[in-house]
Amino acid sequence: MHRRTTSNRNQQSGLTFVEVIVAALLLASCIIGIAAIYAQHDKTVRGGKLHAQAVVLAKEMAGYMQAERNPKVSFETVLCATCDSSKGSDNAANVVACWQDRVEAELTNGSARVSLDRSSIPPYYVITVSWSEPRSGTASYVLRVATPAAATVPQT
């Protein structure tokens, strides 16, 4: 008795078109995911640098305030004040105006304001530094600093 064996010579070897498309889509989604993670990391690092620079600038102004011992000197932002480098540094309005110019120059869409919070006892200066985060909107850093008058009042 002779058996007839069938061979599958027509059997495919390799990948089908559908398998290639699925593999390509999977690879593309992985690449897009990695690119998104990289972009988010880059945005976070850039935003962190801007925040760190804002902190440095705010603390710089706080240093000017804390060095001043005369309680009659006001560091509040004066509207329409401009930085005049020929004036002495003892003029607080000029110090604030020059500092605001630095904030504008060093931060993206930077702005700064110094106000006196008279609602608290003792009163405090509030230093606000704002900037634009890339693709995120506006961010701010706020620092409260005791006034020279508050530094001379004994705390209970």
Amino acid symbol at 25: L
CB 126 within 8 A of CB 142: yes
Nearest to 127 by CA among 146, 108, 109: 146
Q: Which DSSP helix (H) or strand (E) runs through 115?
A: strand 111-117
CB 155 within 8 A of CB 139: no
The residue written with tokens 């988010």 in the block is 40
Output the CA torsion sign for 116, 117, 123, 128.
negative
Say whether pTM exceeds 0.75: no
Per-domain residue ranges of the chain: 44-152
CB 74 within 8 A of CB 116: yes
Q: How many CB atoms lie within 10 A of CB 146?
A: 18
Task: pLDDT tens for the chain, 156 residues: list them.
Answer: 555 555 555 565 777 888 889 889 998 888 888 887 877 766 666 668 888 999 999 999 999 888 887 878 888 888 888 888 775 555 888 889 999 999 999 998 899 999 999 898 888 999 999 998 767 788 899 999 987 655 444 444
